[in-house]
Structure 1
């Protein structure tokens, strides 16, 4: 079968790879849709995503939907042809983080398409990916399989919102990309009094405003941002851009004593943390998700507006074009790879 495999920085290939053997508790899928994530783009552009450094060829992809085409001997509750969304996380269930219910911090986590460990965990951008039965969330008949592939990024957004405790608060989201847009929606659903999204790209602001009932700010308008910083208008900020200026903006625009949740991976320089001290701001990390995946599947299928979050779908054969589109943040929110036929 063919798969999107990254060999080194800048070296993404559509390779022919061997079909994995099916373990008793595993399922083979026909890929329906795969969403290209920022981490996939980082592996291609930089050979790493955060602290996960590519050391060997690896199949990318962890935002997936598909249909069951084969089941292992121990799987007796999935019929051939069943549509599923795939939870890419496989925690060990035994370490102290798992025992404490914080499975996203598992010491032995295996996450599809991740170079965090060696051997790397292969991803799902393959024509017939193999996953554990426990990773499959059965979809209702007639479900939009493209929207179902948004469940993974929505889970990340929902976990950040849960960390932020947004009910009744004025929320600032910095970054209007996929995670930022989904975070804005999740925050509204969680009872935020208001949500404002700041981004430097006009296209991003327009797209997120079309998806959710939010205000938008031009993060590149120095005068407007300075006016907010002079009279902070937000109780909570969720930083989803993964950019030092965005975190600096969040710290400047929240009330003293407020909380900021950091979702995006940050560069190693350029962040001025002095406001954390002088304004007693709490800075929390938010990493992936815990038990939000199943509810995220239901949420993305229930909201027809989220179809507009998918701004490009490329055939499986068009790997170069798909990744080029996904990297074009001025024009695209979420770009997906669709099945070949």
Structure 2
């Protein structure tokens, strides 16, 4: 079968991979839709994400919805022809973090399409990926699989909103990419009183304003508006851009005792940490998701308007063209790969 395999920076190939027999608790899928994530783009462009470096060929992909083709002999809750969304996380269940119920920061986490460990955890951008049965969330028979493929990034956004305790709060989301856009939607879902989204690209702000009831701000003007008194301070900032300047701006526009949730990977830079001290700010990282995946599936299926977040789809087997499109944030929000054999 064919698979999207990253060999190094800008070295993405459609390779042939041998299918294997299923273990008793495994499920074979027909990939219907796969969303190209920010981490996939980092692997494609740079051969790494943060400290996760591609050292051996690795199948990309962890955002997917699929059709069940085959189940192992011990699988009870998933059946052939089920439509499923896939939770890409595989915590070990035994380390101290898992024992404390903090599985998303498991010391031994395996995550589809991740180079964090060696050997790497192979991803799911292949024609017939195999996963554990408990990774499958069975969908209604009429579920839109393109919507379902948004569940993983929405779960990340929902986790960030939950850490921000946004209910009743005035929230700023910095960065109107996929995670920032979905974080704005999640913040509204979690009861934020007002949600603002900032970005340097006008086209990105136009897109998010069509998907959610938010106010938009040019990222370069946010700090000036607040510091000058023309606008109010924010209670919570969900920083999704990964830009160091956005982090520093967030510190300046947060009310004392405010909360900054860092959900985008930050580039190395000098950060103004003194404001954290003088305003007694809370800064938290938001990494992947904890127990939000099934809620995320339910949420995206109830929001057909989120189909507007998918700006382009490419046929399975199209590699560089699809990934290059994903890098163009002026034109695209979420780019997906579609396999017509299983997407109907």
What's the TM-score bracket when you normalise by the shorter of the two chains?
A: over 0.9
1:229 Cα deviation (Å)? Answer: 2.7
* Mapped contact 2:262–2:285 kept (Cα < 8 A): yes
Looking at structure 1, the residues matched to 245 and 205 of structure 2 have their Cα atoms a distance apart, in angstroms, of 17
1:340 Cα deviation (Å)? Answer: 4.6
| TM-score (norm: length of structure 1) | 0.97
Residue matched to 2:70: 70
Equivalent positions of 1:177-196 (< 5 A) are: 177-196=177-196
Query: Is 1:254 aligned to 2:254, yes or no?
Result: yes
Q: Deviations over 1:128-184 (max 9, x none)?
A: 000000000000011110110000000000100110001111000000110001000
Residue matched to 1:226: 224
* Mapped contact 2:244–2:271 kept (Cα < 8 A): yes
1:318 Cα deviation (Å)? Answer: 1.2
* Mapped contact 2:78–2:136 kept (Cα < 8 A): no
Residue matched to 1:235: 235
Aligned length: 339
Looking at structure 1, the residues matched to 194 and 4 of structure 2 have their Cα atoms a distance apart, in angstroms, of 40
* RMSD value, Cα: 1.1
**Which 5+ residue runs of structure 1 have no aligned equivalent?**
none
Residue matched to 1:8: 8
Looking at structure 2, the residues matched to 211 and 163 of structure 1 have their Cα atoms a distance apart, in angstroms, of 23
Residue matched to 1:47: 47
Residue matched to 1:30: 30
User: 1:220 aligns to what SS in structure 2?
Assistant: helix
Residue matched to 1:176: 176
Residue matched to 1:329: 329
* Mapped contact 1:317–1:340 kept (Cα < 8 A): no
* Mapped contact 2:168–2:191 kept (Cα < 8 A): yes
Equivalent positions of 1:144-163 (< 5 A) are: 144-163=144-163
* Mapped contact 1:245–1:270 kept (Cα < 8 A): no
After TM superposition, what 4+ stretches of structure 1 lie above 6 angstroms from structure 2? Answer: none
1:225 Cα deviation (Å)? Answer: 3.3
* Mapped contact 2:33–2:64 kept (Cα < 8 A): yes
User: 1:44 aligns to what SS in structure 2?
Assistant: helix
Query: Is 1:205 aligned to 2:201, yes or no?
Result: no
Looking at structure 2, the residues matched to 289 and 77 of structure 1 have their Cα atoms a distance apart, in angstroms, of 23
Looking at structure 2, the residues matched to 103 and 10 of structure 1 have their Cα atoms a distance apart, in angstroms, of 32
Looking at structure 1, the residues matched to 20 and 182 of structure 2 have their Cα atoms a distance apart, in angstroms, of 34
Residue matched to 2:107: 107
**Which range is displaced more, 273-282 or 205-214?**
273-282
Query: Is 1:312 aligned to 2:312, yes or no?
Result: yes
Looking at structure 1, the residues matched to 316 and 270 of structure 2 have their Cα atoms a distance apart, in angstroms, of 38
Alpha carbons of structure 1 residues 340 and 141: separation in structure 2 relative to 1, 3 Å: closer
| TM-score (norm: length of structure 2) | 0.96
